[in-house]
Amino acid sequence: MQQVACPGCGAPVQFKSTASVMAVCEFCKTTLLKDATSVSNLGKMSEVLEDYSPVQIGTSGQFAQRSFSVIGRIQLQYSDGFWNEWYVLFDDGTNGWLSDASGQFTMTFGKTAGGELPIFDKLVPGRTLAVAGQVYTTSDVRTARCSAGQGELPFKVGVGWQARVADFRTSDRFLSLDYSDGDAPRVYAGQAVKLTDLKPQLLRDADRISDSAGRFRGKVSALACPSCGAPVNCAPGVTVHIVCPSCHAEVDTAGSVATVLAAGAALDKVKFTLALGAEAAIDGSRYTILGAMRRSDGDGASEWSEYLLYAPGRAFIWLIETEGGWQRAEVLDRWPTWDGAGHASLDGRNFNKREEYGARVTFAAGAFNWRVSVGDTVHVTEFVAGSLGLAAEATNEELTWSRSSPLALDQIRAWFGGHVHVEQQPHPKYADTARRILIVYLVVNAIPLLFATGNSLPYALLGAAAIYLPAYFFDRLDAEGR
């Protein structure tokens, strides 16, 4: 370990890893570049956006029976959100990266490719790639910029530094190609992990996050919409995009000050069964509905609602409401095996392709962990095995897999109680009154009709219709006005 004096404020700055060439002073944020003979001042590094992540500099844990400590962080921002890359040092002197994106974690290490790799511009989500004898599926292709840094790092970065990154998955294995330095990428390979499986120590708890990060914490709170001033429930640091339920302005929260992205257009009122901000105890944690959106298929023949649920320290949950009932869905860390056609398998279970279609956002309100706007489209391929479902959602930049299972409406009611607003069919009050009048009418006229001469039945039926039909149409008007 090497310790130097910060050229900005004189405070001690430690280089714990011999591989580190850069560090950010925790006191004055001066960026230090270390070479063989000296340490130079590169200027100030922006403050990191303290988000919901429980990881921090100094967090320790174990991976593959080796102990590590977190010694640095790069924060990367792209058009739809941001993520953290935590630089970790193992006790044996090796290093790696713990990626932290929307509560999903991967541990990777620098590798030698051992063969020719494609250029960045040719990569497309969903395509396969063979690297070091392993076949991966492209999951993410995007350009991001470094918005901030912290601690020590193995290479020189600064605010505005661009990272061109492509990620790949197969089962729980993970591969990342970093094209930031040119057409020949750096290769990082590893696997998806659960934070709890790393046996972490010195994590930030909810109170610590609240004390150190101000409004950027993992607790749900109210943010005043910068456009209209209405309160909007969000989980700062978790949600990077909000659609105000009152004025439908789109608000970017991935910065120190919420910024209005676009004034909301006047939209017809959309009724949801579950209300934004409703809470439920699920799997031992308190979840809050942060966002709700309405989607439709390509031709608009089918429409459904999706609700984003969040609990501090837990993975996001999606509740999906269709005409056929309710489903619970979660984004998968470990991907299924897919033959690219009609069959996929996960956990030893075979799934058959059911359908594929385009899904388009027609309405959105509340807070989301990525930027969502009306008109956003994804290509969905669905698979089923009994009551379980798998779905692959693809855009030009990303491919994700999720698994779903059915939920009974009674379970939704048990979770949310009085916050469940199931649309009730209006009671046909006018028709009920008309039926009572018709009964009296028929009783009074039954005997005269039996003894009447001539064809009087059509006139009796016309009279009955004159009583019932107006009542029927008044009930229809009531139903349409609800």
Verify that 335 and 361 share a domain, yes or no: yes
DSSP 440: H
Spatial separation of the C-alpha atoms in residues 396 and 11, rounded to whole Å: 46
Q: Tell me if 203 is assigned to some domain.
A: no
Report yes or no on whether pTM surpasses 0.75.
no
Nearest to 260 by CA among 269, 248, 276: 248
- Amino acid 282 reads I
Q: Tell me if 253 is assigned to some domain.
A: yes
Q: Tell me if 101 is assigned to some domain.
A: yes
Nearest to 239 by CA among 49, 391, 392, 92: 49
Verify that 363 and 398 share a domain, yes or no: yes
Q: Tell me if 243 is assigned to some domain.
A: yes
b/e map 172-194, b = 16+ CB within 10 Å: ebbbbbbbbeeeebbbbbbbbbe
Which among 372, 396, 419 is the end of a domain?
Answer: 419
Spatial separation of the C-alpha atoms in residues 95 and 15, rounded to whole Å: 13
Verify that 230 and 191 share a domain, yes or no: no
All residues at 6 or more sequence positions from 33 whose CB lies less than 8 Å from its CB, including other chains: 21, 22, 39, 40, 42, 156
pLDDT tens digit string along 96-139? 999 988 778 999 999 987 778 999 999 999 999 888 788 999 99
Q: Tell me if 206 is assigned to some domain.
A: no
Verify that 438 and 365 share a domain, yes or no: no
Provide the token pair at 245: 């339920």
pLDDT tens digit string along 235-269? 655 666 777 777 777 777 665 555 545 544 434 46
Hey, how many other C-beta atoms are within 10 angstroms of the C-beta on 441?
16
Segments forming the whole domain that contains residue 403 = 216-419
- Residues 190, 193, 198, 201: is their CA dihedral positive or negative? positive
Q: Tell me if 133 is assigned to some domain.
A: yes
Verify that 292 and 333 share a domain, yes or no: yes
Verify that 168 and 243 share a domain, yes or no: no
Task: Work out the widest C-alpha separation in the chain, in whole angstroms.
Answer: 122
Q: What is the DSSP string of 329-351?
A: EEE-SSPPEE-SSSEEEETTEEE
323 CB-contact burial (10 Å; exposed 0-12 / middle 13-18 / buried 19+): exposed
DSSP 403: E
Query: What is the phi/psi pair of residue 221, to 5°?
Result: -145, 175
Spatial separation of the C-alpha atoms in residues 82 and 109, rounded to whole Å: 21
294: three-class secondary structure by DSSP: strand
Give me the pLDDT at residue 44, please.
46
Nearest to 218 by CA among 148, 287, 151: 287
Give me the pLDDT at residue 429, please.
58
Q: Which helix (H) or strand (E) holds 430?
A: helix 429-451
- Amino acid 452 reads A
Verify that 376 and 460 share a domain, yes or no: no
Spatial separation of the C-alpha atoms in residues 461 and 431, rounded to whole Å: 17
Spatial separation of the C-alpha atoms in residues 214 and 239, rounded to whole Å: 15
Spatial separation of the C-alpha atoms in residues 313 and 408, rounded to whole Å: 26
Verify that 281 and 406 share a domain, yes or no: yes
Which among 149, 165, 198 is the end of a domain?
Answer: 198
Give me the pLDDT at residue 270, please.
75
Verify that 236 and 270 share a domain, yes or no: yes
Verify that 180 and 61 share a domain, yes or no: yes
* pLDDT tens track, the chain, 482 positions: 556 667 667 676 665 665 555 566 766 666 555 554 444 444 444 455 556 678 999 999 999 999 999 999 988 888 777 889 999 999 999 999 999 887 789 999 999 877 789 999 999 999 998 887 889 999 999 999 887 788 888 877 766 778 999 999 999 999 999 999 889 999 999 999 999 899 999 988 766 654 544 333 345 666 677 677 777 776 655 666 777 777 777 777 665 555 545 544 434 467 889 988 889 999 999 998 888 899 999 787 899 999 999 887 778 899 999 999 999 999 999 999 998 889 999 999 999 999 999 999 998 888 787 778 889 999 999 999 999 999 999 999 999 999 999 999 999 999 998 778 865 445 555 666 766 676 666 666 655 655 565 566 666 667 667 766 776 666 666 555 44
Spatial separation of the C-alpha atoms in residues 440 and 435, rounded to whole Å: 9
Which among 198, 227, 255 is the end of a domain?
Answer: 198
Hey, how many other C-beta atoms are within 10 angstroms of the C-beta on 301?
8
All residues at 6 or more sequence positions from 169 whose CB lies less than 8 Å from its CB, including other chains: 136, 137, 139, 175, 192, 335
Verify that 262 and 387 share a domain, yes or no: yes
Q: Tell me if 142 is assigned to some domain.
A: yes
Give me the pLDDT at residue 124, please.
93
State the total domains in the chain. 3
Q: Tell me if 209 is assigned to some domain.
A: no
Verify that 415 and 446 share a domain, yes or no: no
